[in-house]
Chain A
Amino acid sequence: MSIFEYAPAPESRAVVDIASSYGLFIDGEFGDAADGAVLKTLNPATEEVLTEVAVGGESDVDRAVRAARRAHDKVWGPMPGSERAKYLFRIARLLAERSREFAVLETLDNGKPIRESRDVDVPTAAAHFFYYAGWADKLEHAGLGRDPRPHGVAAQVIPWNFPLLMLAWKVAPALAAGNTVVLKPAETTPLSALLFADLLRQAELPPGVVNIVTGARETGSFLVNHPDVDKIAFTGSTPVGKRIAREVAGSRKSLTLELGGKAANIIFDDAPVDQAIEGIVNGIFFNQGQVCCAGSRLLVQESVAQEVVERLKARLSTLRVGDPMDKNTDVGAVNSAQQLERITRITDTGAVEGATRWSAPCELPDRGYWFAPTVFTDVSTAHTIAREEIFGPVLSVLTFRTPAEAVAKANNTPYGLSAGIWTEKGSRILWMADQLRAGVVWANTFNRFDPTSPFGGYKESGYGREGGRHGLAAYLQEGAL
């Protein structure tokens, strides 16, 4: 035991009231699913049941899409951009004001550390609304023609890793552009979206502009296949993304996909080593590695590989794994039993295929879904752990000798979402960024998100961009030039 052992510093749960059940949010009202179906949502850190939420069926989805269509045709579509902006600014301010409530609820439902939900998820979500609020009355300056028009009704399906932030990435640009929304939160993390529905009522957003239909995979399928949906935005796994692309093929629906990744975080021998170590940690252990753009493949120049790995292990030994509600926790719980099973299964192939496994020394709680931060060395590009997206706190370390080899290895993946470069040499950063087939390339940082910056993938990581001016293109049809 350390002489300076941090005493427990739990965030208070009392700031948020969780109701015993939640309905679907359609046309400004909460109501049960037509068939009364519900699912339970758990706290993954304790396996405690938090509440029940409705499971939207086909008729519920239809009702939501009709409400969105009405709101688009009668209220939101005709409304001047400057008026839409006022609502968006109001939503942003309310998110900031109620940030503690959202952070606590997000952590309870998702398992991520309160430090992350408090310092990253919620403030960045509010920032997205602030950013796109500013665009609402300036759409003719977005480079999409003189009079770009919204698509109409946007169907949005979001993942469980950043429930509120992904909601903000989707809802903010859609509303700014004049679309109305039917949003399907992830099965295991519906609560922050439902609290957001409450916030929308507080903001007096007209009914039907945003509808939230909770449920499981089938609910999402009803939504994307609804004939009156104009635009689909999906963030999630590559297999589901491919399925959606097949389903909407040949229809008039416009589609953007933000899918999986297997990002390379590339460390050169002249890197600022202490910050690079932090960047590696942030790259793969932020949000328990459950990040589509996670830096899950560490590529280290061979001359410093041993040093970097030793320093990394020393640093990982200081990570604080445990109760996500404790303000000093760095690594929280994996989101679900299913995800833990997947992480465990893929990780187990690592040692079998010949890589060397090391896990940070940490005591994991008895209940809940936990996985110790893990590093594999002696990894080859042929290993499963170097190819498949694990979506967990597992890092594969590979080495390279030349910049060209780093590029070849980094690009040797069906994915292409993000990459990181660590070097003090500016010209090398530019050359590398030019060669890497990745939608986002970070230089001397990693997992940095800003609403002004477009985000999205190459290859099987999807298409379309979210964030920045580019993010508007997904929600607008080009007008006359």
Chain B
Amino acid sequence: MTIRLFVGTMPRMTHSATDARTASGPAAGEGSTGTVALHHTAGTQASGAEIVAQAHHLTGQATLDDAGLARYLRGLPGVDKVGADGRAQMLGTRSIKTSAKAWALDATVRMIDLTTLEGADTPGKVASLAAKAKNPDPNDPDCPRVAAVCVYGDLVPHATAALEGTGIHVAAVATAFPSGRASREVRLLDTREAVAAGADEIDMVIDRGAFLSGRFSAVFEDILAVREACGTGPDRAHLKVILETGELATYDNVRRASWLAMLAGADFIKTSTGKVAPAATLPVTIVMLEAVRDFHRATGVHIGVKPAGGIATAKDAMKYLVAVNETVGEDWLNPDLFRFGASSLLNDVLMQRHKLRTGVYSGPDYISVG
């Protein structure tokens, strides 16, 4: 095995969106309640053919079949579990107080994909969620808005209608979420319908069965195809690829799946559907952040990271922000490159915001449900 670190050895592709973000994109402290700024900045505007060319280039493989991808992915440096868990635990001891806490709480709100993914979801529930997304704390006009509302595909029209003109993204889970167990045609149709209904972010699942059995090219092609189904140009829907790390068994696999998704054109890599335990964990997220950092070193492209599921408290969320800050750095500390997939997290953050501003803990009765 050899370590492939690529520091400064790969030619960089042209990524106008990335460059624009670095030059003049909104910093995390600004634009939180803006009404436009719908352009996504993670990932690239590369075509499918360019993505494939880049994958050939990065992997050094002439063919991106199972064997070629396996040679590359298995050559990535391993992850020592004890060390990775220890690093996460250490970062979890950071003490975030006063001004840092105030910043972190607001940043968390801005990074939330406010999510409802229940069989019993209704248009009414989505409308209520959208209202909350726009105005999370009715008592505080300074409270920022969340990044996106995340729903099943059939509810996208309701979310789109409620959020039009707000700058809040509409994310749809697609590709036979959460299991992904459907033909590629069905999964692509699922994606196209959500995009047609107005979703500007697609959260797809990978075929874990294919990944775990070594059919890496199937996963690669799936992601590439879904990316194409997301449209083209600067307004194409943004693609988040869910690795479902709770089913991947090892951190080595998390790293490999992260690279596979990035090679295939993911704009974001996301931990979990929220339907499998364990969902997001801090060490898994750190392994993904490291992959994103290394991909950036190799290509100059910023890929986003989204831990999802199981992050329910402001205290937990702050540990993730610390991890982002100390592994990939502050470039990633904004909603364009880091999101939380969560349903109940927002409520706790709102309570903590209130406590920090007023010195009084109001309790859940003062926070809207849903």
Q: Which residues of A contact B (CB under 8 A)?
A: 2-9, 115, 119, 269-275, 278-279, 303-304, 306-307, 310-311, 318, 327-328, 424, 444-445
Contacts and interface: CB of A to CB of B under 8 A. Distances in A.
Contacts of B5: 273, 304, 307, 311
Given A8-B97, A272-B78, A307-B3, A3 B28 contact: yes
**A-B complex: 8 closest residue pairs judged by Cβ atoms:** A275-B83, A9-B95, A272-B80, A327-B95, A275-B80, A307-B5, A273-B77, A7-B100
B249 to A, nearest CB: 17
Contacts, number: 95
Given A2-B330, A270-B2, A310-B7, A444 B82 contact: yes
Contacts of A115: 93
Contact of A328 (B3, B86, B94): B94
Contact of A3 (B7, B27, B93): B27
A47 to B, nearest CB: 26
A270 B7 contact: no
Interface stretch (B44-52, B101-109, B173-181): B101-109
A274 B99 contact: no
Interface in B143-192: none
B117 interface: no
B78 A5 contact: no
9 contacts: A7-B96, A9-B96, A9-B97, A272-B78, A273-B5, A275-B80, A275-B87, A327-B94, A424-B1
Contacts of A445: 82-83
Nearest to B326: A318
A99 B297 CA distance: 43
Contact of B83 (A279, A303, A318): A279
B305 to A, nearest CB: 15
Contacts of B104: 4
A6 B28 contact: no
A327 B86 contact: no
A158 to B, nearest CB: 27
Contacts of B101: 7
A9 B96 CA distance: 7
Nearest to B85: A275
Contacts of B325: 2, 4
Nearest to A9: B95
A272 B95 CA distance: 28
A364 to B, nearest CB: 20
A103 to B, nearest CB: 13
Contacts of A279: 83
Contacts of B103: 3-4
Given A4-B100, A4-B325, A307 B84 contact: no
Contact of A6 (B79, B96, B107): B96
